Structure 1
Amino acid sequence: MTGQLSGQPILILREGSQRTKGREAQSMNIMAAKTVANAVRTTLGPKGMDKMLVDSLGDVVITNDGVTILKEMDIEHPAAKMMVEIAKTQDDEVGDGTTTTVVLAGELLKRAEALLEQDIHPTIITSGYQMAAQKAVDILDNIAIPVSEDDEEMLRKVAATAMTGKGMALGKDIFPLLCVRAVTAVLEDGVADIDDIKVEKIVGGTVGDSELIEGMVIDKERVHPSMPKCVENAKILLSDAAIEYKKTSVDAEISITSPDQLQAFLNEEERMLKDMVDKIKDTGANVLFCQKGIDDLAQHYLAKHGILAARRVKKSDMEKLARATGGSIVTSLDDVEEGDLGSAGLVEEKKIAEEDMMFITGCENPKSVSLIIHGGSEHVVDEVERAVHDALRVVGVAMEDKKVVAGGASPEMEVALGLRRYAATVGGREQLAIEAFADTMDIIPRTLAENAGLDPIDALVSLRAQHEKGKKTAGLDVNTGDVIDMQKAGVIEPLRLKTHAVKSAAESATMILRIDDVIAASTPKGGRGAPDMPPGMGGMGDMEM
């Protein structure tokens, strides 16, 4: 980047910096975003294919979850990173629909590229896209189906739809019900926080062995073999204070000149530990979960009193235990009251697939529950966990918003139809951008058909014909290729999934279109700087467009 002063060039940027501007910069960014969209497009829908991702350490991930694929890919191009960000946002907000969002954003940019070649200014395109996105949200809101948090059947369909196509053939009958019951248990004031649902993965058994525990499961064992393995009518003390003798916080030396003094010192240590254990016993607790360590001698005294104890329990597990048992986490044993204790019908140590685990069940109105996932291999368990996470999140969203829509590309087709009618009422060049947005919505049914091995043109024409007849819930059955009523078929998705996907795709496409100048700093010696611009695509050059 240089300027001229009396014929003398003036360098503004550091040597080695690269600048791309105008149409070339736009084309580079659009190309990068389209490449990311094409990378995940084949995973869309119940018939989507899986990706195998191998990292630099040789660890393998097999998945068709869009956000997982994008997180695992080592992407460097700035515009491509923006696509990864919208997938992460969709995952955080809704839990599903990440692939849909990225595919829509990529298609919006592809359509925008054609408009740019017709010399339509990027500002006009972005204005049209924003108008179309707002109208699309209104159309989706009009076709939404109300659902109550007590409608277990409808919520099961929402969970089943989210899990379809994610290697869940064996668990499709049990997991939707488990997910709905788990979310219902932690629902408070109309808000479902899925962080209160602990998902524990166990390699061993089959997916069908998975179960919901109305309480907590923690990956810990009792600290002393003489402690009881099972405690009924448990009174549970949750402590984040160590059951160990205190060490001085400053450097100190103790001078011992005789064996009597040494014995007195050891006796005092023992007395301190015994006092701590006596305080625990005096509270009435018969189960102790400690976030920090428990001294060996303290373990012996606890075992003598018949108290079941586990140590070094994770902070997140302690918080979930407090919500499940109704107890409070105490920081000092000196001021523990009976009201601080949690309660459970049964605390039991069980061996599950060669691992000792602690089950806390029979809790009264637990506000934290555990879902145990079994699977034949680590890859199976990991993929099931991703599917369960999506299902839990979408059920929570459906309960919070109390609105759902039919799936199978029926909302996208209805939006496309509504936008084409809306475009005719809008004057000026924005009309072209709105029509491009409507055409973009067709990419979802087209991709669903392609991934199922069907003819995309036939599927699109049949679907459009049904929607023009007023059948708003008509969608594509990827198993037969027929157009059927998706609401009756039980393919249901949360409204927020669709509205957020449309808004996120439009926002990211708008942001990328408004960039007309890319200035990349030079790479420092021996370090990684910004990606080469152009012609490099930041490690994505080998992907097919």
Structure 2
Amino acid sequence: MAKMIAFNEDARRGLERGMNTLADAVKVTLGPISTELSAMSKPVETKEQISATASISAADSTIGEMIAEAMDKVGKEGVITVEESNTFGLELELTEGMRFDKGYISPYMVTDTERMEAVMEDAYVLICNSKIANIKDLVPILEKVMQSGKPLAIIAEDIEGEALATLVVNKIRGTFRSVAVKAPGFGDRRKAMLQDIAILTGGTVISEEVGLKLEAATLDLLGKARKVVVTKDETTIVEGAGDDEMIKGRVNQIRAEIEKTDSDYDREKLQERLAKLAGGVAVIKAGAATEVELKERKHRIEDAVRNAKAAVEEGIVSGGGVALLQASKKAFEKLKLTGDEATGAKIVELAVEAPLKQIAMNAGLEGGVVVEKVRNIEAGHGLNAATGEYVDMIKAGIIDPAKVTRSALQNAASIAALFLTTEAVIADKPEPKPAAPAAPGGDMDF
């Protein structure tokens, strides 16, 4: 679509005439089309709809079904990650509770040597926003926990020196069970995640910034969890004892931060934190026969997960380029534009035909004929390229996330506007292909 807008003949002629407002004129149409797309979208209410959306994106119904299953288990705000597997096929692994990517500091803390895990049942959780090295700072709270008879999970910036040695020696002797884990993240993000853990477990972050010192810590500052499982690389906190209202408040706070941020990276990290508190974590493990096939399959699954989440966020619309074409028709019928704006609208009107035209051409049909037919048939109906029939697209399971359709249009217009207002573009010159070598014996006489 960006190409159709930026390199349209009307756009070129307009710029030659000095029509510098053409880029703005193109953008004028975006709002009305987006509004029509929103009006067309239908909320995703069933597991089957999520499966259909993901299946189309991944071109694989098995992948679609697994993504729908994962979203059903962890909720719309849960995290779904995709990992490479050494085994062939697909596998879904669900994690209850909060999980973060930090493991035990010392393998001597392992309680299950077969699985190489440190498992703490009905444990206290000490959360500290500083390094712990001096055993004198740790002894007072250790004595209190030992008297309770419960194990202790320590999450701190770092645990080292004699403090770590004391924990290891007590574990080996069977005097006291504990596990030490480095806090996840860095800087302000680490502080925020420690606070998340504290709220989830009903504890308090011990930090000198708020006047709390480790040597003066009491049991009521510690969090609690039904189970803490720590591996070499990950820590999972199951059923923290945090107050439901406080957890809900923290979740709402993170949601507000997601709305405010302009950074995609920050938004992604905030969504991960939100999922750890409000949803859960699902891991789809993908395997394949070759390395190349594995990478390609993993990327398809990741794209399908994003599309499924987008469908849940803003609903679904008819796929196959139908929604875009029919939404633009409705929008342009309502717009009364003149001059440059009318020219910009005409350019966009032609550009939104591109996806459907391409689908028709791929199916061996005449693009222009298909576009004209779809533009004038019942709303929501379009071409099923697999059968060549015109059907109700949503009923036939040919759907797209409304968010993806809207974003595609906005991104295309943004890129095109950049080209239209650019004086010059620097591009790599294609290298000439070397001539094919002469056939052996080509100069010999026979």
Q: TM-score range with shorter-chain normalisation?
A: 0.5 to 0.7
Q: Please state if 1:457 is matched with 2:375.
A: no
Q: Please state if 1:138 is matched with 2:35.
A: yes
Determine the C-alpha separation between the residues in 2 that align with 1:540 and 1:344: 61
Amino acid across the alignment from 2:166:
L
Determine the C-alpha separation between the residues in 1 that align with 2:157 and 2:80: 17
* 8 A contact 2:104–2:233 mirrored in 1: yes
1:172 to 60, 64, 73: 64
Q: Please state if 1:346 is matched with 2:242.
A: no
Determine the C-alpha separation between the residues in 1 that align with 2:203 and 2:399: 38
Q: Select the structure that is richer in helix.
A: 2
Residues 348 and 311 of structure 1, relative CA distance in 2, 3 Å threshold: closer
Shift of 1:502: 2.3
Determine the C-alpha separation between the residues in 2 that align with 1:419 and 1:482: 26
Shift of 1:279: 5.7
* 8 A contact 2:325–2:375 mirrored in 1: yes
| TM, length-normalised to structure 1 | 0.57
Q: Please state if 1:439 is matched with 2:336.
A: no
Q: Tell me the residue number matched to 1:208.
A: 90
Shift of 1:468: 0.9
Q: Tell me the residue number matched to 1:330.
A: 206
Q: Tell me the residue number matched to 1:288.
A: 154
Determine the C-alpha separation between the residues in 2 that align with 1:125 and 1:444: 23
Write the mapping of 1:14-413 to structure 2, written as runs, cut at 5 A.
104-111=1-8, 115-116=12-13, 119-123=16-20, 125-146=22-43, 151-153=45-47, 157-158=49-50, 160-162=52-54, 164-166=56-58, 170-184=62-76, 197=79, 199=81, 201=83, 203-217=85-99, 218=101, 220-221=103-104, 223-225=106-108, 227-229=110-112, 230-245=119-134, 274-275=139-140, 277-278=142-143, 281=146, 286-294=152-160, 295-301=164-170, 304-315=174-185, 318-319=193-194, 321-322=197-198, 325=201, 327-331=203-207, 332-338=213-219, 340-348=221-229, 357-362=234-239, 366-367=277-278, 369-376=280-287, 386=299, 390=303, 393-394=306-307, 397-398=310-311, 401=314, 403-413=315-325
SS in 1 for 2:2: helix
State the Cα deviation string for residues 453-504 of structure 1 (Å, max 9, x = none): 412525x53354244122x222443433433322113344443333333233
State the Cα deviation string for residues 355-384 of structure 1 (Å, max 9, x = none): 765444355774252222323267667666
| TM, length-normalised to structure 2 | 0.68
Q: Tell me the residue number matched to 1:496.
A: 403
Shift of 1:409: 1.4
State the Cα deviation string for residues 223-276 of structure 1 (Å, max 9, x = none): 24355333333333333333322xxxxxxxxxxxxxxxxxxxxxxxx6566456
Shift of 1:210: 2.0
State the Cα deviation string for residues 309-344 of structure 1 (Å, max 9, x = none): 143342268556556545544334235455554444
SS in 1 for 2:131: coil
Shift of 1:142: 3.0
Q: Tell me the residue number matched to 1:418.
A: 330
Residues 446 and 336 of structure 1, relative CA distance in 2, 3 Å threshold: farther
* 8 A contact 2:10–2:347 mirrored in 1: no
* 8 A contact 1:146–1:404 mirrored in 2: yes
Shift of 1:393: 4.9
Report which stretch shifted further, 127-136 or 275-284.
275-284
* 8 A contact 1:136–1:502 mirrored in 2: no
SS in 1 for 2:278: coil
* 8 A contact 1:398–1:495 mirrored in 2: yes
Report the identity percentage: 17
Determine the C-alpha separation between the residues in 2 that align with 1:289 and 1:302: 17
Q: Tell me the residue number matched to 1:253.
A: none
Q: Tell me the residue number matched to 2:384.
A: 477
* 8 A contact 2:82–2:284 mirrored in 1: yes
Amino acid across the alignment from 1:236:
V
Residues 135 and 205 of structure 1, relative CA distance in 2, 3 Å threshold: same
Amino acid across the alignment from 2:317:
V
Amino acid across the alignment from 2:285:
H
Determine the C-alpha separation between the residues in 2 that align with 1:291 and 1:422: 59
How many residues align? The count is 374
CA RMSD of aligned residues (A): 4.0
Amino acid across the alignment from 1:307:
R
